[in-house]
Amino acid sequence: MTPTGLSMDVRTTVKRRVLISGAGISGPALAYWLHRAGCAVTVVEKAGGPRAGGYPIDIRGTATEVVRRMGILPHLRDAHIDSRRCTFLNADGSEVASVDPRALAGGAGGQDVEVRRGDLAALLHALVRDDVEFLFGDSAATLDQHGQGVDVTFRSGRRDTFDLVVGADGMHSQTRESLFGPEERFHRYLGYCFAVFTMPNTFGLSHELIVWNTPGKAAVLYAVGDDDELHAFLNFHHPEPPCEALRNPGAQRDLVDAVFAGAGWEVPGMVRAMRDADDLFFDTAGQIRMPHWSSGRVVLVGDAAYAPSFLTGQGTSLALAGAYMLAHALATHRDHTAAFAAYERGLREFVAMNQALAGKGAARLFPTTARALEQRNTMLRGLVTLPSAPAPPAHSALTLPEFAPMR
Ligand SMILES: Cc1cc2nc3c(=O)[nH]c(=O)nc-3n(C[C@H](O)[C@H](O)[C@H](O)COP(=O)(O)OP(=O)(O)OC[C@H]3O[C@@H](n4cnc5c(N)ncnc54)[C@H](O)[C@@H]3O)c2cc1C
C-alpha cells in the first residue's frame, strides 16, 4: 500500500525506540506513523495475535482523513458494511419504525465508513507488520523510568530499554493504572452495561439492524451483509457499575440473564446464545477522563486516555486521530515533554467535543423511562421521511496538521 500525504523521513540522528502496549486500533495506527517518522517501534500485545471480534465500528470525519493519509481508505471502503435498514421494535416485537441508518447516525454525505472491527484491526496490522516488531502473547510487567529511558520488564521475562512507552491498551489500561493509579479515578460510568457476541443468523436477516427496546433495556441484532452470523448486542441500564461481574465472565452471563428474564420478542433466544458464545465481550458504557495523558516518558493514546464510550460511536475515530496527533507531535518535537504537551494541546478540544456526544446517543437509542422511550419513538417515526441526518460538527472538529519530518 502506498502511503500518501507524507514527508519522508530525513532523520540522521539515532532512532528513537518506542514501545507501544496494545495492538488494537490506536496501537498499530500509531506504530505506522511513528515508523514513518523514523522511530524504531515495538508493539506488545497480550493476546496471541490481532484480535478479531467486537461490534462493527465507524470511522468518521477527521479520522477518515487519517486513514486516507495512511493509504487504506480504499480498502476500508471495500469493507464498508452499508446497512440498508434499521427497524425498531416494541416490547412485543411489533414495529415502531424502519429507518435509513444514515438518518440516525449522520452519513456525512457518504464519506463515513463502517466496518467490522476485526477487518480494521487486521488491515492495520498488515500495514505495519513488516516495519515494526510485534510481540504477541506478552505484556509489560514493570516500567522504570530514568533520565535516559524506560526500563521494561515483560511478563515473559524479557527486558529492554526504550526511549518512550505508549499505553494503547484500551479502556482498562494497565499502563494507565501503573502510572496514574486505579481506573476508578478516571472512569466516568454512564449508567449502562452491554454484552456483545455473535450468534447464528437463523432469521434470514441481511444488511440490516433490528433494535428491540423496553425502558432501560435494548436488544439488537445486526446482520452485516449476508453473513450467516449476526452481531448480537444486549444493553441495559444499571445504576452502579457491576464491579464483580466486570472481573468474572460467569457473573456477566448471570447478570445479563437476570436482567432480561421475561423479555419478549427473540430476546430469550439471544440470552441463550450469549450463554454459549465463545466471543462474549462484556463491559460498561463509560468514559476515561484524565487531567493529563502523560507522565515522564510514558504517554497514553486511544481508549486508555480518552475512551468516549460506544454511546458516541467515536471510540475508533478518536483512537485514529489521537495516534496521528501523537506521532505528529513526536515528529515535530525532539523533546518528548514538549511533544506530549503539543499532543494534548492539539487534541483535547476534539476529545471533549466527542465525549460530550454520549448523552445524546444514550437518550436516542437507550431511553431509560417509558416517557423517554415514547418520545424517542415519536422522533423515529418522524425520521422515516427524512433521508439523512447531518453529521455532528464534533466528528470533523479537528484539522490535521501535515506530517513533518522528525527533528
Ligand atoms: C476484541 C475487542 C472487541 C471490542 N468490541 C467493541 C464493541 O463491540 N463495542 C465497542 O464500543 N468497543 C469495542 N471495543 C473497543 C474499541 O475497539 C475501542 O473503543 C476503539 O477502537 C479504540 O481502540 P484502542 O486501540 O484505543 O483500544 P482497543 O481496541 O480496546 O485495543 C486495546 C488493545 O490492547 C490490548 N491490551 C490490553 N491490555 C494489555 C496489556 N496489559 N498489555 C498488552 N496489550 C494489552 C488488548 O488486547 C487490545 O488488543 C473492542 C475492543 C476489543 C479489543
Q: Domain map of the chain by residue range? A: 17-81+116-186+289-356, 191-286+363-383
CATH H superfamily, domain 17-81+116-186+289-356: FAD/NAD(P)-binding domain (3.50.50.60)
One-letter identity of residue 338 = A
Q: Nearest residue CA, atom 27 of ligand 1?
A: 170
Cα 12 to middle of ligand 1, angstroms: 35
Decide whether 17-81+116-186+289-356 matches 191-286+363-383 in CATH topology: no
Q: Between the CA of residue 134 and those of 7, 20, 34, 201, 322, what are the distances in Å? A: 25, 9, 14, 35, 21
d(CA 166, CA 275): 36
What pLDDT shows up at residue 186?
97
Instruction: Supply the DSSP symbol for 25.
Output: S
Q: What percent of the chain has pLDDT over 90?
A: 77
Nine-digit cell at 72?
Answer: 487504506
Closest-lying ligand 1 atom to the alpha carbon of residue 21: 43
Mean pLDDT of the chain: 91
Name the stretches of the chain with pLDDT < 70. 1-13, 105-110, 361-363, 384-390, 404-407
Ligand 1 centroid to 170 CA: how many Å? 5
191-286+363-383 CATH: 3.30.9.30
Cα(287)–Cα(190) distance, integer angstroms: 7
Note the pLDDT of residue 73: 96
Alpha-helix residue ranges (DSSP H) falling in 70-142: 73-79, 101-105, 117-128
- The per-residue pLDDT for 51 is 85
Cell numbers 480518552 correspond to what residue?
A: 306
Q: Locate the ligand 1 atom nearest the alpha carbon of residue 121 and give its number.
A: 29
Read off the C-alpha cell for 88: 425498531
- What does pTM read for this prediction? 0.91
Q: How far is the CA of 230 from the centre of ligand 1 (A)?
A: 20
Provide the pLDDT for residue 11.
44
Q: Whose CA is nearest to atom 21 of ligand 1?
A: 316
* pLDDT digit string, tens, across residues 102-148: 777 655 556 789 999 999 999 999 999 999 999 999 999 999 999 99
Q: What is the pLDDT of residues 274-298, one digit of tens each?
A: 999 998 989 999 999 999 999 999 9
